[in-house]
Amino acid sequence: MFVGSLTSYAQHIGTPIQVVLQSHYFDPYESIGERPRTPVDPPMVYLEDYTLTFEADHPEYVLYIKDEDDAVVYSTVVSTTVTEVVLPSYLSGDYEIDLVMGDWLFTGWINL
């Protein structure tokens, strides 16, 4: 189960902006177990045009881009060796961005 949260930001033309992400613990299988007591810091991600830039030393993420109907319009695995992901140019408008790392979901909004 994904837990959604909204965070807004202003986009500056020509300047990379930080995608503001919030972290949420989730258990996709609702297994019995202890929930971590402290949240994980959200990753640093920047957006310029259609390029998402990640810090050089990051864990593996699964990236989901969702439209206003919560439908996934783009997804990919961001491996530990990847620092940039170019999103498809046919995307236009506001989208939810979700990064999944194990039992953690980082979510925010981007404008393309």
Write down the pTM of the prediction.
0.73
Domain 17-111 has CATH 3.90.230.10: no
Residue 8 near residue 108 (C-beta atoms within 8 A): no
Q: What's the whole-number mean pLDDT along residues 14-42?
A: 60
Distance of CA 41 to the CA centre of its chain: 13
pLDDT for res 74: 97
Sign of the dihedral defined by the CA atoms of residues 1, 24, 16, 53, in that order: negative
Helix (H) or strand (E) holding 105: strand 104-111
CB of 87 closer than 8 Å to CB of 112: yes
The two beta strands, 22-25 and 51-54, are: unpaired
CA distance 37 to 47: 31
Q: Output the pLDDT for position 13.
A: 38
* Per-residue model confidence as pLDDT tens digits over 42-99: 888 999 999 999 988 999 999 999 999 999 999 999 999 999 999 999 999 999 999 9
